[in-house]
């Protein structure tokens, strides 16, 4: 998707209004120990933003924001992230072109691109492998890639994680071939665990069309029974370290702008005219229960979907059956997360329920947030990952559970100090 005309900001009907708590009189760790805080997860943990891994996004990752609050309770703690240099892999940015706000991809050579990949990105991370980092998030990994249930799978997962350019800061060889081995070696006293989103997200963002990822594995939906077994392994690893922590549930992926920006129809003379879409069962007209992906925007603007012969391609549509498969797996994943967290007496941040509150809008400290692409204030320009302000909101959700679960008094983050989408100067 490239060009999007930015309409005037919609007037929202507030579904709820919250107020960030003031800094408590005294900040304490309560029953938690933040000495060695470890975050595990995927792109959402690593600080991936606007379709790329780069310094600004990482600096505003939710683990980084959490660590700043934890340091108020434990000033001696340190928090290290494997920072990309400058633009890192490159990222999407907004430019004003021919009367429109234009999201420019990092690989777009049409314009002088200030957000293109940094020259260091080709080999980024290789020199960092000897450092013990606190943020172990790797964009692109699934929970099923992090734990092996057989020797063969261990080799596959080692290659998957090791081949991922976002994970080059970790050494997947020697005594640390698996992601879980890095957890076991982390000496964590406290953790956050937001693994699992990619176990359904990759399938969903590919429109339910299976693809090969990193040359080694089919990118489908992880079986819920396998998810539960591997999630248990992750929590057991932290439990054996004596660490306390919180787990974060998997959001409903269809609640994010990537699936809700392009409607399945156009309005002609006040009447909805539904697009034609390709599905595994053949070509048909879309319904309100089918999701046209954000990446289909340009082709739809060019007339794709207007007739059976110009049906929107299958991999640009998450149809009703595919969406149901994603939702079914997500609900089972979240049931396992909650049950296993209770087994080890860890807190749970219900991000599935929280993101549902953005279906209409949410008002925090006088700022209105929605799931709307670009204007909603929460998500970045890829329609999947939060912007800096969105990550601050995530951090507050986690802080609330930490304080409740462990009697801590960590102060909430002032979200107004964090930026949303950067708009160009006209």
Given the DSSP bridges, would you call strands 265-268 and 271-274 parallel, antiparallel or unpaired? antiparallel
Return the structure tokens found at 235.
């929590």
Q: Are 231 and 346 in contact (CB under 8 A)?
A: no
**Does residue 302 lie in a domain region?**
no
**Does residue 296 lie in a domain region?**
no
Return the structure tokens found at 340.
């296993």
Arithmetic mean of pLDDT, 198-204? 94
**Does residue 143 lie in a domain region?**
yes
Measure the CA–CA gap between 154 and 223, rounded to whole angstroms.
18
pLDDT confidence of 101, banded at 50, 70, 90? confident
Which residues have a Cβ under 8 Å from the Cβ of 265 and sit 6 or more positions away?
Answer: 272, 273, 274, 275, 286
Number of structural domains the chain divides into = 1
How far from 225 is each of 135, 194, 329, 332, 342, CA to CA, in Å?
A: 27, 18, 10, 9, 18
Each residue's pLDDT tens digit, 267-277: 999 999 999 99
Q: Which residue has the higher pLDDT, 52 or 357?
A: 52
- Residue 15 above 50 pLDDT? no
Domain of 368, CATH number, reads 3.40.50.1110
pLDDT confidence of 255, banded at 50, 70, 90? confident
**CA nearest 106: which of 157, 152, 63, 50?**
50
Given this model, what pLDDT does residue 421 score?
72
Measure the CA–CA gap between 310 and 326, rounded to whole angstroms.
27
Given this model, what pLDDT does residue 374 score?
67
- Residue 3 above 60 pLDDT? no
**Domain range for 87:** 18-260+320-417
**Does residue 289 lie in a domain region?**
no
**Does residue 306 lie in a domain region?**
no
The pTM of the full predicted model, rounded to 2 decimals, is: 0.90
Q: Are 411 and 69 in contact (CB under 8 A)?
A: yes
**Does residue 141 lie in a domain region?**
yes
Q: Are 220 and 203 in contact (CB under 8 A)?
A: yes
What percent of the chain clears pLDDT 70, i.e. is strictly above it? 87
Given this model, what pLDDT does residue 98 score?
78
**Does residue 228 lie in a domain region?**
yes
Given this model, what pLDDT does residue 360 score?
64
Q: Are 115 and 91 in contact (CB under 8 A)?
A: yes
pLDDT confidence of 230, banded at 50, 70, 90? very high
Given this model, what pLDDT does residue 47 score?
97
- Residue given tokens 């999630």 in the structure block: 231
Arithmetic mean of pLDDT, 35-60? 97
What's the whole-number average pLDDT of the chain? 88
The phi, psi pair for 314, rounded to 5°, reads -55, -40
**Does residue 116 lie in a domain region?**
yes
Q: Are 397 and 354 in contact (CB under 8 A)?
A: yes
């Amino acid at each position: 998707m490239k060009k999007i005309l930015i309409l005037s900001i919609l007037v929202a009907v507030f579904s709820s209004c919250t107020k960030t708590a003031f800094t408590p009189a005294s900040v304490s760790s309560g029953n938690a120990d933040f000495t060695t805080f470890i975050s595990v997860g995927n792109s959402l943990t690593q600080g991936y933003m606007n379709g790329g891994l780069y310094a600004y996004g990482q600096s505003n990752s939710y683990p980084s924001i959490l660590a700043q609050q934890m340091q108020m309770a434990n000033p001696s703690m340190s928090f290290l992230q494997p920072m990309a240099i400058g633009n890192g892999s490159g990222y999407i940015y907004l430019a004003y072109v021919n009367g429109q706000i234009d999201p420019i991809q990092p690989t777009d050579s049409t314009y002088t691109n200030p957000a293109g990949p940094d020259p260091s990105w080709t080999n980024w991370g290789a020199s960092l492998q000897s450092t013990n980092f606190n943020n172990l998030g790797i964009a692109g990994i699934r929970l099923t890639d992090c734990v092996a249930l057989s020797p063969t799978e261990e080799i596959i997962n080692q290659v998957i994680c090791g081949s991922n350019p976002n994970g080059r800061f970790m050494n997947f060889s020697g005594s640390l071939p698996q992601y879980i081995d890095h957890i076991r070696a982390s000496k964590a006293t406290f953790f956050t665990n937001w693994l699992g989103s990619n176990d359904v997200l990759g399938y969903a963002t590919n429109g339910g069309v299976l693809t090969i990822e990193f040359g080694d594995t089919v990118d489908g939906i992880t079986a819920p029974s396998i998810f539960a077994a591997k999630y248990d392994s992750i929590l057991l690893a932290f439990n054996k370290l004596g660490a306390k922590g919180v787990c974060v549930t998997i959001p409903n992926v269809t609640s994010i702008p990537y699936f809700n920006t392009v409607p399945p129809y156009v309005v002609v003379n006040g009447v909805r005219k539904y697009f034609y879409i390709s599905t595994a069962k053949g070509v048909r007209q879309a319904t309100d229960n089918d999701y046209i992906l954000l990446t289909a925007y340009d082709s739809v603007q060019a007339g794709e979907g207007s007739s059976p012969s110009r049906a929107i391609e299958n991999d640009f549509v998450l149809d009703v059956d595919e969406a149901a498969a994603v939702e079914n797996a997500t609900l089972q994943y979240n049931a396992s997360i909650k049950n296993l967290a209770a087994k080890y007496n860890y807190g749970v941040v219900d991000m599935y329920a929280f993101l549902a509150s953005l279906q209409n809008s949410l008002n925090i400290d006088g700022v209105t947030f929605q799931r709307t692409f670009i204007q909603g204030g929460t998500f970045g320009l890829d329609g999947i990952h939060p912007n800096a302000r969105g990550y601050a909101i995530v951090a507050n959700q986690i802080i609330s559970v930490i304080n409740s679960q462990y009697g801590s008094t960590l102060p909430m983050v002032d979200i107004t100090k964090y930026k949303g989408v950067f708009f160009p100067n006209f």
